[in-house]
Structure 1
Amino acid sequence: MKSILLLDDKETIAKLISVYLSSEFEIIYFDNAVKGIQWLMEGNVPDLIISDIRMPEMRGDEFLHYVKNNELFKCIPVVILSSEDSTSERIKLLEDGAADYIVKPFNPMELKIRIKKIIS
């Protein structure tokens, strides 16, 4: 079973995503990016990462830069979730290496389809 590292400070969003994805993917959840990095540094490598933008301690865009500039993790696709529907932010994050950018609120079925296209 493929694994997804999910980073979001809102547990309700994490639960919603887990409900829709856990039948096909193993979901590893942390409420902030710093904990996600610690998990990665322990030698864990998920098939995909879903990261919110606005989180305490480390923003999702900062996390994306960390992952994409790290030789061990740069090949892991990162999907960004954001409540900001800013075209300029979306373009910047896609240029910076995000595999996709999904605006909240989102359709969980659409998220599942987009993930499958990335890691099928």
Structure 2
Amino acid sequence: MMTTVKTILIVEDEPMTRKLLQHMLGKTYNVIACDSAKKGLHCLKTNSTIDCVLSDLYMPEIDGKEFVRQIRQNALWAKIPIIILSGAQESDIRINCLEIGADDFITKPFNPKEVQLTIAAILRRNHYVGNHKKDDTAVVSPTPLVQKYMPW
């Protein structure tokens, strides 16, 4: 069975958070990082291998909610999993993000393990359901750090 490294698109306007996510996720995944939703949409248009999007909620120009709406309205991207990151604590904001099409919501400051496990779980579900990729041989391989929390 062939193992395919998954590609994560990070859309985060805060440089330190973006670099932390790149460093943290780059050990397991191919990572593409953008500092705006506008650039994130461009990356989606030019890269057909994106397996998951990790996006900040509050960004200039196009915010995370509008970014999610635009992804969900495009038939080519509609089934790509999206995780929103935000410092917003209010449950109505979290609920609204899920209602408009986000697959999950992680509150900042985040625990790196939570981010890694959430991405691994979403990619695993996506693989088994066959939502995005047509390559049935792809396998999500969690990092050794993540593996100790996953019994397989």
How many angstroms does 1:44 deviate by?
2.9
Secondary structure at the counterpart of residue 29 of structure 1 = strand
Measured in 1, the distance between the counterparts of 2:22 and 2:67 equals 21
Moved segments of 4+, more than 3 Å: none
Which ranges of structure 1 fall in alignment gaps of 5 or more residues?
none
Secondary structure at the counterpart of residue 122 of structure 2 = helix
Alignment match of 2:108 (pick from 104, 108, 116): 104
Task: Tell me what 2:61 maps to.
Answer: 57
Pairing 1:36–2:47 present: no
TM-score normalised by length of structure 2: 0.76
Measured in 1, the distance between the counterparts of 2:30 and 2:76 equals 21
What do you get for the CA RMSD once the two structures are aligned?
1.0
> Percent sequence identity over matched residues?
38
Which ranges of structure 2 fall in alignment gaps of 5 or more residues?
125-152
| Structure with the bigger percentage of strand | 1
Size of the alignment, in residue pairs?
120
Of structures 1 and 2, the larger Rg is shown by 2
TM-score normalised by length of structure 1: 0.95
Task: Tell me what 1:25 maps to.
Answer: 29
Alignment match of 1:69 (pick from 66, 73, 77): 73
CA deviation profile, 1:23-45 (whole Å, cap 9, x unmatched): 11011000000011112122434
